[in-house]
Every structure is written in structure tokens, then in C-alpha cells.
Amino acid sequence: MNKNYEITRTITPGEYMKMREAVGWGLFPLEEAQAGLENSYIWCIRDNGTPIGIGRVIWDHGYVMYIADIIVIPEYQGQGLGRVLMENVMDFIHAQLKPGYRFMVSLCSAKDKQDFYKKFGFVERPNEDVGPGMHQWFTGEEVL
């Protein structure tokens, strides 16, 4: 990594929202962002202090882990930073394993990003053994 870059284990809700905005992802209230960040393991790559990459893991401390929000802002893509984030995430996961433990680590690939995740051992669903992953968004009604 460039010598001006560092990895921190925190990001503010405002910084996190800017990262999402930079890649065209939906926004939500800062309070909701903060709650999510407080319950995540976070890696934030910073250039002279400014966030340029983020990744996070949500873990129930049993067998279920979920990788979310792997983002490198567009000006910094293609320099190996996505790989740095994923390698930190994968090292973290391996470090949590105890003898005999098994983790199922899931993620939802953004469109056309599945080959990026395959580099780190993830397999696409559906396949001959498992059905597709599924998801649904819920939105709270605005109180006027």
C-alpha cells in the first residue's frame, strides 16, 4: 500500500455514508448507520486520514458471518485496495476459528462483482448443491 495509507478499525457514520454515496449506493439515516457500524468489525483504508476503502463483517459469534459494504471509492479502484480489504477480512475470519468450529460466511455480490469475490474462495449460488441466495428490502414509513 502507498505509504500515506493506513487501516483504521473505525469509521464515522458520516464518512461511511460518503463512501456509499461515492459508489451510488442508497443512503439511510445516520442513526441507523451508527447502529450498524457499532455492531460490525470494520476495516477502513485512509489516505492521509480520508476514507478511501471500507469493508465490514457482521458475526453472530456462532457459525454465521456476513461480509458487507466492501467499497473502494472510484478514484482509488484498480490499485489492489479491494484485495487488501478482503485479505484483512479473510485473516480475521481465520483467526476466529477454534478447533472443530465451522463458519458459513455469506455476502451479496453487487452486479458483475462475483469474479472479484471468487478470488477469495466464494462460490456463486445457485449451484448443484444449493439454491439461490435471496433478500428483501424493508422501508419504514416517514412520520410526518
Ligand X SMILES: CC(C)(COP(=O)(O)OP(=O)(O)OC[C@H]1O[C@@H](n2cnc3c(N)ncnc32)[C@H](O)[C@@H]1OP(=O)(O)O)[C@@H](O)C(=O)NCCC(=O)NCCS
Indicate the residue whose CB is closest to ligand X.
Answer: 82
Integer CA distances (angstroms), 8 to 35, 36, 46, 84, 140, in order: 18, 17, 7, 13, 32
**Separation CA 86–CA 43 (nearest Å):** 9
User: Closest separation between CB of residue 83 and ligand X, Å?
Assistant: 4
Based on C-alpha coordinates, what's the Rg of the chain? 16
Three-state DSSP class for residue 47: strand
| Residue 113 binds to ligand X (criterion: CB under 6 A) | yes
Three-state DSSP class for residue 102: coil
One of 64, 119, 130, 133 touching ligand X (CB under 6 A): 119
Give the residue with the Cβ less far from ligand X, 34 or 106.
106
| Residue 82 binds to ligand X (criterion: CB under 6 A) | yes
| Residue 125 binds to ligand X (criterion: CB under 6 A) | no
Binding site residues, ligand X, CB under 6 A: 23, 70-72, 77-83, 109-110, 112-113, 115-116, 119
